[in-house]
Amino acid sequence: MFKAILLEESDGKVTAEIQNLDEARLPDLEDAVTVAVEYSTLNYKDGMILNGVGRLVRTYPHVPGVDFAGVVEASDHPDYKPGDRVVSTGWRVGEMTWGGYAQKARVKGDWLVSLPEGLTAKRAMALGTAGITAMFAVMALEEHGITPARSTECGEVLVTGAAGGVGSVAVTLLASLGYKVAASTGRQEAHDYLRGLGATSIVERAELAEVSKRPLARERWAGCIDSVGGTTLAHVLAETAHNGAVAAVGLAGGSTLETTVLPFLLRGVNLLGIDSVMCPQARRRAAWARLVKDLPMDKLDAMTETAALGDLMTLGQEILKGQVRGRLVIDVNA
């Protein structure tokens, strides 16, 4: 038996309860690997799933948790054997199949990566989907010529939703790589926290959420990592410098995008979509290796708090309201 959060749905309403489940209930998958989970994490998408928002889960009962790290117990996959330490992010784990809010998980071996050398399971989950997404976004900006030098010459690189999970890792990564970073937040109390992560300036969330009156405005940003979407993304596109790039990561502020083609036609702005869910494994491994190399671990520890499975229903509601700061690791055995 193992402890897990089990979601049930009735009349469109999702309820959650911690239950003891039999291992026989774990999914039956090809090349399966069964993992004794040590840590999971809380991402925005977990908040949606815990609250039945967005119909991301189609089959109930369901065990949520899009990320987990732990030790292999049994394996039908040639790359993994009992005792190996592994990490799972993406591939719709915790969404289309059971996930990591449990002491045991079973996934296809092809969805796993080995715990990156230099990381503990806890730090891997302090990163989790949010961390690897921030790294993908930085890599995408680099691939489109957004260098630290450009952030001095053409305007800072902006991070929106900066006090959240993706935002906190993105600010820290960019700052440690030598970029000048503007952090946008709606939380007055997060200003010192963001400066501590390396932000060179702070921008009020409300300022960027205003609908742009003109399709092109003063060039302010060499690039941007945007967790917010909606009017914020439209606003930022109008302020992005010539040949700048905007990595669109999220939709915490809305999924509708009303803009014009002018930033693309007259300023050569690149809008880069970031998808951490179905990203190929080779790029995923490269991103993990970059995180180990480029992210100062003391800063990661400073942005991380730990909670237990029993705290998740409250925390799942808080993350949807933008009230969770930085990263939250879930100790599934606490």
Q: Which residues contact ligand NDP by CB under 6 A?
A: 43-45, 129-130, 133, 161-167, 185-187, 190, 205, 209, 227-228, 249-253, 274-277, 319, 322, 324
User: Considering the complex, what minimum distance in angstroms separates the CB of residue 16 from ligand NDP?
Assistant: 19
User: Considering the complex, what minimum distance in angstroms separates the CB of residue 326 from ligand NDP?
Assistant: 8
**Which lies closer to ligand NDP via its Cβ, residue 79 or residue 318?**
318
- Please tell me the distance from the alpha carbon of residue 123 to that of residue 209, in angstroms, as a whole number: 33
User: Considering the complex, what minimum distance in angstroms separates the CB of residue 230 from ligand NDP?
Assistant: 7
User: Considering the complex, what minimum distance in angstroms separates the CB of residue 218 from ligand NDP?
Assistant: 22
User: What 3 state SS string does 47-60 have?
Assistant: HHHHCCCCCCCCCC
**Which lies closer to ligand NDP via its Cβ, residue 133 or residue 151?**
133
**Which lies closer to ligand NDP via its Cβ, residue 6 or residue 251?**
251
Q: 138 vs 16, 182, 183, 187, 203, CA distance in Å? A: 36, 14, 15, 24, 20
CA nearest 119: which of 288, 294, 318? 288
Q: Which amino acid is at 21?
A: L
Residue 101 DSSP label: S
User: Considering the complex, what minimum distance in angstroms separates the CB of residue 187 from ligand NDP?
Assistant: 4
Q: Which two tokens stand for residue 45?
A: 């998408």
Conformational region of residue 230, where left means phi above 0, alpha means psi within -120 to 50, and beta covers everything else: left
**Which lies closer to ligand NDP via its Cβ, residue 183 or residue 241?**
183
**Which lies closer to ligand NDP via its Cβ, residue 26 or residue 66?**
66
- Please tell me the distance from the alpha carbon of residue 178 to that of residue 66, in angstroms, as a whole number: 31
**Which lies closer to ligand NDP via its Cβ, residue 21 or residue 42?**
42
User: Considering the complex, what minimum distance in angstroms separates the CB of residue 261 from ligand NDP?
Assistant: 23
Q: Give every CB contact of residue 260 below 8 A, 6+ residues apart in sequence.
A: 215
* Chain residue at closest Cβ approach to ligand NDP: 164
